[in-house]
Amino acid sequence: MECQRLQKLVKNWYLQVQSEAMAPARMVAFMENHLLECEACLADDKVREEVERIKAMILPPPKAGKTPGEEDSEEETETGEPEDEEDEDEEDDDDEEDDEI
């Protein structure tokens, strides 16, 4: 990367991304903008490569699938709940008429 300006900007943006003050996608957009506007960068063939590398670094991997050793502790709460059968007590309290005297 020849462009001092971009180097500084990237460092700056990267810190913000690290502290979650900026979205990675936003940083990518800023970099792209700079590449389009900056003459030094337009003249630099390698800067594209570097930007691509930075992009790969800051952007989350496209496939967020099965990663071994993932420390996601998502507890699955789907336990086949046994159906609560209502107790079938046979109610045998038919009192015959009240025997109160």
Which residues bind to Zn ion, rule: CB under 5 A?
3, 5-6, 38, 40-41
- What token pair was written down for 36? 């389009």
* CA pair distance 64, 72, nearest whole angstrom: 12
Beta carbon of residue 51, minimum distance to Zn ion (angstroms, whole number): 10
> What is the gyration radius of the CA atoms in the chain, in angstroms?
33
Beta carbon of residue 4, minimum distance to Zn ion (angstroms, whole number): 8
Beta carbon of residue 47, minimum distance to Zn ion (angstroms, whole number): 7
CB-wise, 46 or 67, nearer to Zn ion?
46
* CA pair distance 98, 73, nearest whole angstrom: 62
